[in-house]
Amino acid sequence: MHMKNGLIKKVIEEFRNRTLNVYKADSERIVRDARAADRAAKDHTGRWLFELLQNSDDAGATEVRVLVEDDTVYVADNGSGLKPGAVSAICGTDFSDKTGGTIGRKGVGFKSVYEVSWNPQVLTVDGEGIEFSPEKAKKFLQQNNLDDGQVPYQWIPFFIPWEDMERQDPYLGALTAYKTVVRLPGISPEKKQKVEQLLREWPPHALCAFRHLRKITAPGLEVVLRAGDGAWSLCDSRGQTLVEWQVARHTEWPSVDLLKVLGAVECRAISTDGVSFLIAAPLKNACVVPTSDYLPVHVFYPTEQKGPVRLLLHAEFLVKSDRTALMPVDGNPFNAWIADRLACHVCKFVNDSYRPESPSSHAALLVPFGERASHPVAEGLWQRIADKAQADLRLADVEARQGLTVSEARLISVNVRADLARTLLEATKVRGRLLHPAFDDDKEARKALKELGCKEIHDQDLMAAIAENADSHAGDTG
């Protein structure tokens, strides 16, 4: 949006005038708005970078660059720029209390930047911008004979042109290759340290869940994601190595009845785009392997709730207003549907991860989070995944054919040597139910199958099978 159009300036002035009329009609609203903004900033502690990345992704950006210079943080992207329709979304309307959840699309989350700066600015390169300033807002209230004891500056936007800001701040000149710049000035030394720590610890795999974003550059950090056909490469400058990931993405459209719990904007977005799911895990020697830890469930960005299995899971769940937690699945038809569909996609991902050269490795992807009993989200998702896996998971038989169900399969769990027991068992009618020998020594795969209720052959079962087989042969001889 270029300055000559003047639309951003016009929309900002109109919004500010509407806010002024509200405050003149109800002076107590000033205090309520100021308090709501303060609460919101506290709710979003540590989330500001993820929220800005989400906003960049919503704008179709493929690349984000973060600069930290002096007392200012800059977040620049190559998306579509600041649009007139975004003004109300990033002003105080975003602070309104919500009774339901939100998926978090389209402008939600800008309020998180107030944790870092009291004077955030959003600029379109060579165009128009918007600013929130306690000083300007206080003066605005005074000029209009309103109480300035508490200043809801987050609700009172001001217009700023790029050319004026570029003259004041030479660092903006390094960002002219981008389209939008979020400028966060006035960072205290303590907050600057926290910003730098956040960048150092930023999880590279989080890039996988975004729809468009593929590159993030920051001081001491460059993460590049290259999406391929199933296998994606993730290069993190901090690790100095290229990591391949197996990725499955899906889009589905919920029924009209399920959309009733959503706001109008999200209903329109889902009606057009559907809801997205993503399941991913690292590749090692061409085999899909579990992630090193139980990652949080992602809703484009990571929540603060552990996932049920060692896979990267993204789904468009409804989340609470602080965007760190999912709305409870029980009693929420939309989230229940998302959870059910995610379980289906997880099971398909695991089945598709089967490799004949490593017949047990795909089952190891389903080792559940051990402390899930105290994590309701992980427990609820695991139960759905387990139910689906018990019905649809397919496991390798002794010939490495992926055909056994969990209920059909048998694990060898004896005190004698497993290979000796296997030799004896393969001569009996149990042979058709035996899992591939790879399962005998794969502790992780065995653990997963036991959690899924797979039956085991113990010493007593071994002896009974041998005796039955001997009786059968004796009968044949007789």
Residue-wise pLDDT tens digits, 353-392: 999 999 999 999 999 999 999 999 999 999 999 999 999 9
Q: Where does residue 244 fall: left (phi above 0), alpha (psi -120 to 50 degrees), or beta otherwise?
A: beta
Whether residue 104 has pLDDT greater than 90: no
How does residue 107 score in pLDDT terms, banded at 50, 70 and 90? very low
The contacts of residue 76 (CB under 8 Å, 6+ apart) are 64, 65, 66, 67, 175, 178, 180, 181, 182
Distance CA 358, CA 396 (A): 10
pLDDT value for 3 = 43
C-alpha separations of 293 from 269, 306, 310, 360 in Å:
33, 10, 6, 20
3-state secondary structure 410-451: EEECCCCCHHHHHHHHCCCHHHHHEECCHHHHCHHHHHHHHH
Distance CA 207, CA 141 (A): 42
Distance CA 159, CA 433 (A): 72
The contacts of residue 246 (CB under 8 Å, 6+ apart) are 230, 231, 232, 280, 281, 282, 283, 288, 349, 353
pLDDT value for 35 = 85
Cβ–Cβ under 8 Å, residues 99 and 263: no
Strands (E) in 136-200, as ranges, are: 158-161, 180-184
Q: For residue 331, give the amino acid letter.
A: G
Higher confidence at residue 283 or residue 88? 283
- The mean predicted confidence, pLDDT, of the chain is 90
Whether residue 274 has pLDDT greater than 70: yes
pLDDT value for 4 = 47
Strands (E) in 141-238, as ranges, are: 158-161, 180-184, 215-218, 221-226, 231-236
Mean pLDDT along residues 388-401: 97
Q: How many CA atoms lie within 13 A of 248 on its CB side?
A: 16
Which single residue is written with the structure tokens 């992630």? 291
How does residue 106 score in pLDDT terms, banded at 50, 70 and 90? very low
pLDDT value for 39 = 74
pLDDT tens for each residue of 163-177: 999 999 999 999 999
Please state which architecture CATH assigns to domain 3-201.
2-Layer Sandwich (3.30)
Query: Which residue, 59, 444, 60, 44, is CA-closest to 281?
Result: 444
Mean pLDDT along residues 282-307: 94
> And the tokens for 319?
């989340």
Higher confidence at residue 417 or residue 108? 417
Whether residue 293 has pLDDT greater than 60: yes
Higher confidence at residue 230 or residue 363? 363
Cα angle 156, 158, 160; round to 5: 160
Which segment of 147-156, 179-188, 390-399 scores lowest on mean pLDDT?
147-156
The torsion angle over the Cα atoms of residues 205, 206, 207 and 208, rounded to 10 degrees, is 70
Please report, for the chain, the start and end positions of each structural domain, with discontinuous segments joined by +.
Answer: 3-201, 226-366, 402-477
Cβ–Cβ under 8 Å, residues 278 and 208: yes
Q: For residue 100, give the amino acid letter.
A: G
The contacts of residue 141 (CB under 8 Å, 6+ apart) are 23, 30, 147, 148, 151, 156
Q: Is 383 exposed, middle or buried (0-12, 13-18, 19+ CB in 10 A)?
A: middle
Count CB-CB contacts under 10 A for residue 94: 19
Which segment of 26-30, 134-138, 294-298, 369-373 scores lowest on mean pLDDT?
26-30
Q: How many CA atoms lie within 13 A of 353 on its CB side?
A: 31
pLDDT value for 96 = 44
Longest dimension (CA), the chain: 110
Whether residue 108 has pLDDT greater than 50: no
What does the DSSP 8-state code read for residue 238?
Answer: T
pLDDT tens for each residue of 200-209: 999 999 999 9
Cα angle 325, 449, 378; round to 5: 5
pLDDT tens for each residue of 144-160: 999 889 899 999 999 99
Predicted model pTM = 0.88
pLDDT value for 367 = 98
pLDDT tens for each residue of 110-134: 888 988 999 999 999 999 999 999 9
Whether residue 9 has pLDDT greater than 60: yes
pLDDT value for 109 = 67
Distance CA 135, CA 119 (A): 9
pLDDT tens for each residue of 320-365: 877 788 998 888 999 999 999 999 999 999 999 999 999 999 999 9
